[in-house]
Amino acid sequence: MLMEMGFMGIIKVNPAIIITLLIFSVIMLTFLIERTWVFARFGSWNNRFWEKLRNSVQAGRLHEARAMCSQSENVFARVFYTAISNTHLTRADNEDLVQIAKEQGQETLRKRLGIFATFSFVSPLVGLLGTVTGIMQAFHDLAKSGSGGANIVAAGISEALIATAMGIIVAVPSAVFYNIFTYKLRAVVAKMNNYAQELVILIYGGEPAGDKPAQPKASDIHAKTSH
């Protein structure tokens, strides 16, 4: 039926409701592209980068490791940079700063995901509103005509249900995309927690939380080798 009516025919069923749902769909697609790009650029994991970074830290080349992280905008690199740049602090203080960096990274990826959840909930209600107003209009036309009976009502209800269908068409992809991005975010957070903790252990070893790292700083190593 939707194919038979065509684009303009669907809009004419209930212009205000259908146009609202079309706006929802355009916004949803826009943020789908934007969030896909954000996750690809800022939330992707590079195992080769991690191996190189870990080798540098284990060798005490913290300056080199810090330079590697500063060249990337990835949320993992930002967290690693925080840990490596604050080795002059105690382990507990460094872990607090790392936690802040992780939360900032999560916020970068979590931003605007609520739009998908909102559309998945609101779109069916907007469509249902269009259906209710359409049915009301159908009975109103029946009362005015005084004839036609069930045929007029059936035609009106049939067109009114298009609004509900459009609402569902917008809501289902919104819910799917929200779940996909939420799953990706959880995966990034889990990986961020694990590797950040491993990096802190590499820097501080088994020292108590109040101690500073036993590893020499990169500047100390450079000073020794220059003599």
Residue type, 188: V
Low-confidence residues of the chain: pLDDT under 50 = 216-227
First-to-last alpha carbon distance for the chain, in angstroms, is 85
Q: What is the pLDDT of residue 225?
A: 37
pLDDT at 218: 43
Whole domain around residue 28: which residue ranges? 2-226
Write down the pLDDT at residue 130: 86
Number of domains making up the chain? 1
Cα angle 149-153-154, degrees, rounded to a multiple of 5: 110
Residue 115: the pLDDT is: 95
pLDDT of the residue at 76:
96
**Model confidence, pTM:** 0.80
The secondary element (H helix, E strand) that includes residue 103 is helix 91-110
Distance CA 152, CA 173 (A): 34
Q: Residue 209 has what pLDDT? A: 55
